[in-house]
């Protein structure tokens, strides 16, 4: 027996075993109960995936940078990012052969438009690509890829056991929560990420699986890496109520910084979209990123070392490895250096992703927030002789900018507290996060992840009606039992068609299948019983133009807006002008109620 035959035999045996397990589960364990088991499995796998991604990226970065000088500029910063992105591009093009960028957006799309189904390769490809990108200096975070990976794990585990789309949606949320909880050791933030960013509804069915996955992943992370928090932070100065006005100003400032970060990311994304050559994208992005990292080394990778320095009071450490190292003792130079880092981070992150790297904007928002909060207090102290705690304000800034960029104030608050152990600053964290979120909402209604889908009308939102509408497809509500007629048919032929139909609406179709108009039974009722007109009148004389036409490619939310605008109950559906069928408001309402009941079952 050949090796191929042996492999096929083993594969068939495993498949048969799996099917036997699936059938046994369907016969003996209810779906609601089995979700708890699956959430535990997803939590364990998501926790291990998070540690693997985190460990690989840190190991690569340590291997490449451990010997570099901290007292002068390093020319290798020109080379590492470009090499890392090139390796990632080749890996994605020749091994993955699929687009794995914008991980969180892809997860949102899967929930909204693809019945929560993600491809199998997504369970590992983002880990490899992101590790190389970040390890070689790509100025992005590992959190977007781990959300994509965790969500893919949840989706595929659910698919293996033939779970319904409603349960698959919960499994995707469980995987995403496990990824965040595992990589940050932050179970509450993991669950809140799923609720605020992925917008999974919090119901009695979803809350327990989400909690189990988050706690399990965090437990795996704690068990294997210890109980230390991600960023060591000791609150040496208690927060005092006279500082609240400055906290309020910081919240507004963080909202504006979040808006700047979001706008620059969108602008740069459009710049790269206009470059149709992958070579041009790579050269432009790699050159921009390498130059920025050479000038500002804290932009290398996730930048967590710089966050630790600022939270630990080591302000001058932020210029280590820079050509500006000699100026580390100048107060105003440090302020200017940090300001340029805040301004440059969005460009560095965009350049990394635009050139072909794989990473997220989660860590960059934390990073920019820390810098913004520190700079805010640092400038006030040195300009007005105040004694604000720069460490405390750096911590608040992390929560503020994350809340603004992601439109997730609760996650920003709890993630910052869980990352640093800074629970004593809970009140100012609440103030900063809320004000930052409120500020950016005045200018930008969607998060940096959701806006791409929102522009295309493909976003599943917190609003239950819109959520259900995105789950409806126009193909499922088209009715085809309308008898088409031709424009040159006589009234007699029209009456014959009416006698064979149980509908009071007739599409008028041309020779090529194009829709020319419609005939309404009510509008010809006064002439259809006059035999003297049977041979003298033709359809083109009494047909009318429908109030609107629905394109086959339109999403259901747009279809409903058309119904509301026209006041019609039936509208024709066309595909490039050719008649397809009719869609009725009553059919949509019936389907809406059915889907709503299905996805709201507790």
Domain 466-599 sits in CATH at 3.10.580.10
* pLDDT at 390 exceeding the cut of 50: yes
Count of beta carbons in the 10 Å neighbourhood of residue 236: 9
pLDDT-derived band at 461 (thresholds 50, 70, 90) equals very low
Fold agreement (10-225, 466-599) = no
Q: How far apart are CA 100 and CA 357, in angstroms?
A: 10
Is 151 within 8 Å of 118 (Cβ atoms)?
A: yes
**CATH class, range 10-225:** mainly alpha
Q: Residue 338 has which token pair?
A: 């940090």
CA dihedral over 175, 180, 185, 191, signed as positive or negative: negative
Q: How far apart are CA 443 and CA 441, in angstroms?
A: 5
Q: How far apart are CA 195 and CA 486, in angstroms?
A: 53
Is 479 within 8 Å of 543 (Cβ atoms)?
A: no
> Is 241-456 CATH 1.10.3080.10?
yes
pLDDT-derived band at 238 (thresholds 50, 70, 90) equals confident
pLDDT digit string (tens) for 122-145? Answer: 999 999 999 999 999 999 998 889
Is 307 within 8 Å of 368 (Cβ atoms)?
A: no
Q: Both ends of the chain: CA-CA distance in Å?
A: 52
Q: Rg (Cα) of the chain, in Å, rounded?
A: 29
Is 172 within 8 Å of 116 (Cβ atoms)?
A: yes
Count of beta carbons in the 10 Å neighbourhood of residue 271: 15
* pLDDT at 478 exceeding the cut of 80: yes
Average pLDDT over residues 502-520: 90
Least confident of 151-160, 214-223, 419-428, 510-519: 419-428
Pseudo-torsion of CA 379, 385, 388, 391, nearest 10°?
50
Is 171 within 8 Å of 38 (Cβ atoms)?
A: yes
* pLDDT at 303 exceeding the cut of 60: yes
Residue with more model confidence, 466 or 549: 549
Residue with more model confidence, 11 or 465: 11
Strands 550-551, 515-520: pairing kind: unpaired
Q: How far apart are CA 76 and CA 61, in angstroms?
A: 13
Q: Residue 375 has which token pair?
A: 């700079």
- What DSSP letter does each residue of 147-212 carry, written as one string? HHHHHHHHHHHHHHTT--HHHHHHHHHHHHHHHHHHHHT-HHHHHHHHHHTS-----HHHHHHHHH
Count of beta carbons in the 10 Å neighbourhood of residue 48: 17
What percent of the chain is predicted at pLDDT more than 90? 47
Q: How far apart are CA 417 and CA 293, in angstroms?
A: 29
Report the candidate in 285, 330, 337 with the shortest Cα–Cα distance to residue 306. 337
The pLDDT of residue 509 is 93
Is 414 within 8 Å of 186 (Cβ atoms)?
A: yes
Average pLDDT over residues 340-361: 94
C-alpha 520 chain-centroid distance: 46
The pLDDT of residue 63 is 95
* pLDDT at 433 exceeding the cut of 50: yes
What value does the mean pLDDT of the chain take? Answer: 87
CA dihedral over 72, 394, 384, 340, signed as positive or negative: positive
pLDDT-derived band at 231 (thresholds 50, 70, 90) equals confident
pLDDT digit string (tens) for 64-121? Answer: 999 998 888 899 999 999 999 999 999 999 999 998 887 788 888 787 667 788 999 9
Residue with more model confidence, 37 or 453: 37
pLDDT-derived band at 153 (thresholds 50, 70, 90) equals very high
pLDDT digit string (tens) for 568-601? Answer: 888 999 998 899 999 988 887 777 666 656 555 5
Give the residue carrying structure tokens 């706690």: 215
Average pLDDT over residues 5-33: 72
Average pLDDT over residues 221-241: 79
pLDDT-derived band at 462 (thresholds 50, 70, 90) equals very low
pLDDT-derived band at 411 (thresholds 50, 70, 90) equals confident
Least confident of 37-41, 265-269, 475-479, 506-510: 475-479
Q: Residue 582 has which token pair?
A: 């009719």
Is 359 within 8 Å of 133 (Cβ atoms)?
A: yes
Average pLDDT over residues 351-367: 92
Q: How far apart are CA 106 and CA 183, in angstroms?
A: 20
Q: Residue 310 has which token pair?
A: 């600022």
Q: From the DSSP assignment, how many helices (H) and strands (E) are in the chain?
A: 24, 6
Q: How far is CA 52 from CA 124, 131, 183, 300, 338, in A?
A: 10, 9, 9, 20, 31
The pLDDT of residue 476 is 79
Average pLDDT over residues 3-30: 71
Q: Taking the domains of the chain in order of start, what are their residue ranges? A: 10-225, 241-456, 466-599
């Amino acid at each position: 027996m050949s090796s191929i035959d042996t492999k096929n035999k083993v594969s068939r045996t495993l498949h048969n075993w799996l099917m036997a397990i699936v059938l046994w589960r369907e016969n003996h364990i209810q779906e609601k109960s089995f979700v708890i088991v699956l959430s535990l499995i997803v939590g364990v796998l998501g926790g291990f995936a998070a540690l693997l991604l985190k460990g690989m990226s840190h190991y690569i970065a340590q291997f490449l940078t451990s010997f570099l000088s901290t007292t002068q500029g390093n020319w290798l910063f020109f080379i590492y990012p470009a090499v890392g992105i090139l390796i990632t591009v080749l890996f994605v093009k020749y091994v993955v052969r699929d687009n794995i960028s914008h991980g969180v957006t892809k997860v949102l799309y899967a929930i909204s438009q693809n019945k929560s189904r993600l491809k199998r390769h997504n369970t590992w490809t983002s880990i490899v690509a992101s590790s190389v990108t970040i390890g070689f200096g790509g100025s992005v975070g590992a959190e977007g890829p781990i959300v994509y990976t965790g969500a893919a794990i949840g989706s595929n585990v659910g698919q293996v056991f033939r779970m319904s789309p409603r349960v698959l949606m919960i499994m995707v949320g469980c995987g995403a929560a496990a990824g965040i909880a595992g990589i940050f050791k932050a179970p509450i933030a993991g669950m809140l990420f799923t609720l605020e960013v992925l917008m999974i509804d919090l119901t009695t069915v979803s809350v327990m699986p989400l909690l189990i996955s988050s706690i399990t992943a965090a437990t795996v992370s704690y068990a294997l890496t210890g109980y230390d928090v991600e960023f060591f932070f000791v609150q040496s100065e208690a927060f005092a109520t006279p500082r609240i006005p400055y906290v309020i100003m910081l919240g507004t400032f963080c909202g504006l910084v979040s808006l700047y970060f979001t706008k620059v990311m969108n602008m740069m994304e459009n710049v790269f979209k206009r470059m149709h050559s992958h070579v041009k994208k790579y050269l432009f992005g790699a050159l921009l990123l390498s130059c920025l990292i050479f000038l500002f080394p804290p932009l290398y990778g996730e930048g967590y070392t710089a966050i630790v320095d600022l939270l630990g009071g080591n302000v001058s450490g932020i210029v280590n490895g820079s050509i500006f190292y000699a100026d580390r003792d100048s107060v105003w130079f440090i302020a200017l250096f940090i300001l340029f880092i805040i301004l440059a981070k969005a460009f560095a992150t965009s350049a990394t992703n635009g050139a072909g790297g794989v990473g997220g904007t989660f860590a960059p928002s934390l990073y920019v927030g820390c810098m913004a909060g520190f700079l805010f207090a640092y400038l006030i102290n040195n300009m007005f002789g105040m004694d604000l705690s720069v460490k405390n304000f750096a911590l608040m800034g992390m929560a503020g900018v994350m809340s603004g960029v992601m439109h997730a104030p609760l996650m920003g608050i709890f993630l910052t507290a869980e990352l640093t152990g800074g629970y004593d600053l809970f009140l100012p964290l609440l103030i900063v996060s809320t004000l930052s979120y409120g500020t950016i909402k005045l200018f930008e209604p969607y998060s940096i992840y959701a806006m791409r889908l929102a522009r295309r009308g493909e976003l599943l939102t917190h609003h239950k009606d819109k959520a259900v509408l995105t789950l409806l497809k126009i193909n499922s509500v088209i009715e085809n039992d309308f008898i088409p007629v031709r424009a040159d048919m006589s009234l007699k032929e029209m009456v014959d068609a009416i006698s064979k139909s149980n509908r009071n609406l007739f599409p008028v179709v041309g020779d090529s299948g194009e829709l020319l108009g419609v005939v309404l039974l009510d509008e010809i009722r006064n002439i259809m019983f006059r035999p003297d007109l049977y041979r003298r009148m033709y359809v083109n004389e009494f047909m009318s133009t429908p109030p609107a036409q629905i394109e086959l490619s339109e999403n259901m939310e747009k279809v409903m807006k058309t119904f509301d605008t026209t006041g019609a109950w039936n509208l024709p559906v066309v595909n490039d002008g050719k008649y397809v069928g009719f869609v009725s408001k009553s059919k949509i309402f019936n389907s809406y109620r059915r889907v709503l009941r299905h996805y709201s079952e507790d």
